[in-house]
Amino acid sequence: MHGNTRAGLIGALALLVTSTHATAGEGAQASKPLYGSWGFDAAGRDTSTKPGDDFFHYANGHWLDTHQIPPDKPAVSMRLEMTDRTEARLHEMMEAAAAKGAHQQADLEGKMGTFYKAFLDEKRIEKLGAKTIQSELDAVRKADSHDALAALMGRNQSDFNGTLFNFFIDADLKDPARYAVYVSQAGLGLPDRDYYLKPEFAAQKGKYESYIAQLLELIGWPNPNQGAKDTVAFETEIARASWTKAQQRDPVATYNPMQVRSLVKFAPGFRWYPFLLNANLTNVSRVVVAEKPAFPKLTAIYAHTPVPTLQAWSAFHIADNAAPYLSKPFADAYFEMRDKTLAGQQQQKARWKRAVYAVSGGDFGVGDRFGTFGTLGFGVGQLYTAKYFPPESKAKIEALVANLKAAYRVRIEHLDWMGPQTKKEALKKLDTYTIKVGYPDHPRDYTSLVITDDDLIGDVRRAGAADWAFYTGRLFGPVDRGDWIMTPQTNDAYNGTLRDIVFPAAILQAPMFDANADPAVNYGAIGGVIGHELTHGFDDQGRKIDATGALRDWWTKEDAEKFDARAKRLGAQYSTFEPVSGVHVNGDLTMGENIADLGGLTLALEAYHASLNGKPAPVVDGLTGDQRVFLGWAQAWRGKVTDDYVRKQVVSDPHSPRQFRVNGVVHNVDGWYAAFEVKPGEKLYVAPAERVHIW
């Protein structure tokens, strides 16, 4: 960006820093910020570390050295403290609802309390053991052919069955006014193909085989050790044929529309029609295939795998998916594999915490596949925001995000590397974005969902089936631009396919946003996150979507080449980062998030400058305004995780480890060098010509 045109930035985030205590949740009227005297926990710094050597540690080092990872978590962080506050609120709500005591309650609050009570009924759960999933297991035993087993996989979205192919419904990327059914590779029980193919994950793969044998034995499956060995061999073949996570990020490569009749011929050896029938997709004649070259390989692997192996594989995945809701031997085995082995978590969460997440969705367990499957996620969100996020807070936050969107417009207009034709299209796209804050405008209807306190597995099944029916029921109608894919109680934000930027209620808390904090800290934290989400629409994959939401190349050749060159340089920087000895960040996998982080913090700093209206920034606690913006960003990512979690993250998560969401960004921002007097020779120093500037 060049020049001194700041008019569009004036007022960006203005409501964030001038409205009186208009934040989400209780405690908003407090006279002091939650952290420190001005919103930053200065005692958590390590001032013996030079900012130019390791800014993440300079800002957070003492906190990192004095905080231990809790035994029931794979991480400790300020973001998790936010989640803990939300968890405590949900716990209080569910306890109160459950205390009503009825076996089955009709209203939404009653359903929440009844579901919660069913999860806490350990006596009943222990008595039932695996009996509650017997119908699924019996169906697998009776399915004595490849065709019959393929048909069972179609139940994956509304039951506990595993599947070789995932399917979901979303806006069609070439016809954004309509929905499409997307089909993608699946079939793996470990987090990523690398766990099967790379020697550094041999120990985890071995423990996974033992875990399979353990669950097969618990459900009374014949010859569980052989079944486990065969299952791992089958999944290893799937892994070899599967695309990498980095390849899966490309929306052009993964958009391959096909008629179902063509898919049957293209990927034979798998009964596609019965599969779609059991998924309640009988009227679907066209699907969008993601990893197209992998599909015939996967169906060939399936076709030559013996039926007994496929039955053992199917039975295991049913038990694995249901394990958190079953008796102690299942739940404990699930924890040991999914949370302890794969993420380094040392202790299982208390049962009430697991109950909260079973009902509301979210961080139920590091290995959980469900997300909002089998939960009352959006229903709980309605109740949560009614109590903790009043409409006036929603309106004020929406206004501040809209102001930052206006600031982003000015940045695009003044980019010095982009030509006028591409800028025109970029601005057109920016103008189409919808800002969604707090909670959806239209609540989900749970009226017909039956929840009882003596049928936990049934509650999960019925909730999952109701959720899937919601999506299939609108498949042939127009796209709902007001839709959400993230519940209000989720501590996160996203930029979605509907050209929407979404900030759920739960993320609007300290340290991300504190109405009593110094404005510069809020700019660095929530301002950076808002800028991050805006930038996602223009990252290496988001830029391939146009103003209508369609997959279309709207860039001039020259501008696209300039963008790609800058993105490549950024990826090369991140690929040198080594969070654990011998483990490097994947610059290709994390590219989109890294671009968004860089754009977000850059925009936040610009917006802070504009808010000063030409006046000098106040000095607080001996720190300049710019210094406090950067410290606000660093504090937002304060935390640490286990080494096992890092190993999992770098192969399966598009986000860089948290220290690089700080160090990897600031060393490309010119203002950081001036703010902290960073000099050549310091570890993070990058020469001006080598710094990456994109948005």
Judge whether 402 lies within some domain. yes
Q: Are residues 180 and 74 in the same domain?
A: no
For residue 26, is pLDDT > 50? Answer: no
Cα angle vertex 600, ends 596, 606, to 5°?
Answer: 150
Q: By 3-state DSSP, what share of the chain in percent is helix, strand and coil, each rounded to 5?
A: 55, 5, 40
Structure tokens at 693: 């500037």
Measured CA to CA, the distance from residue 161 to residue 303 in angstroms comes to 19
The predicted model scores a pTM of: 0.92
DSSP-H helix ranges across 576-659: 591-611, 625-636, 643-652
Q: Are residues 574 and 432 in the same domain?
A: yes
Answer with the one of 272, 297, 312 that is the final residue of a domain: 312
Judge whether 560 lies within some domain. yes
Measured CA to CA, the distance from residue 282 to residue 286 in angstroms comes to 11
Residue 404 pLDDT level (bands cut at 50, 70, 90): confident
Asked if 657 contacts 646 with a C-beta cutoff of 8 angstroms, the reply is yes
Judge whether 662 lies within some domain. yes
List, in order, residues 6 or more apart from 664 with CB less than 8 Å away: 573, 574, 577, 594, 597, 656
Q: Which helix (H) or strand (E) holds 176?
A: strand 175-185
Cα–Cα nearest to 459, from 110, 182, 19: 110
Structure tokens at 384: 């949560």
Domain boundaries, position 305: 154-312
Mean pLDDT of 351-362: 94
Q: Are residues 385 and 524 in the same domain?
A: yes
Q: Are residues 287 and 410 in the same domain?
A: no
Number of domains in the chain: 2
Q: Are residues 190 and 290 in the same domain?
A: yes
Answer with the one of 293, 312, 331 that is the final residue of a domain: 312
Q: Which domain CATH number covers 639?
A: 3.40.390.10
Asked if 487 contacts 496 with a C-beta cutoff of 8 angstroms, the reply is no
* Residues 371-388: tens digit of each pLDDT: 557 899 999 999 999 999
Mean pLDDT of 195-209: 97
Mean pLDDT of 30-43: 92
Q: Are residues 539 and 642 in the same domain?
A: yes
Q: Which domain CATH number covers 269?
A: 1.10.1380.10
* Residues 612-630: tens digit of each pLDDT: 989 999 999 999 999 999 9
Judge whether 235 lies within some domain. yes
* Residues 559-575: tens digit of each pLDDT: 999 999 999 999 999 99
Q: Are residues 298 and 405 in the same domain?
A: no
Judge whether 464 lies within some domain. no
Cα–Cα nearest to 115, from 463, 555, 537: 463
Q: Residue 574: count other Cβ atoms within 10 Å of its Cβ.
A: 20
For residue 497, is pLDDT > 90? Answer: no
Asked if 16 contacts 518 with a C-beta cutoff of 8 angstroms, the reply is no
* Residues 517-555: tens digit of each pLDDT: 999 999 999 999 999 999 999 999 999 999 999 999 999
Mean pLDDT of 468-493: 95
Burial class (CB in 10 A: 0-12, 13-18, 19+), 199: exposed
Q: Are residues 498 and 641 in the same domain?
A: yes
Q: Are residues 277 and 411 in the same domain?
A: no
Judge whether 93 lies within some domain. no
Burial class (CB in 10 A: 0-12, 13-18, 19+), 176: buried
Judge whether 146 lies within some domain. no
Judge whether 467 lies within some domain. no
Q: Are residues 614 and 515 in the same domain?
A: yes
Q: Are residues 639 and 500 in the same domain?
A: yes
Answer with the one of 261, 279, 312 that is the final residue of a domain: 312
Measured CA to CA, the distance from residue 627 to residue 666 in angstroms comes to 11
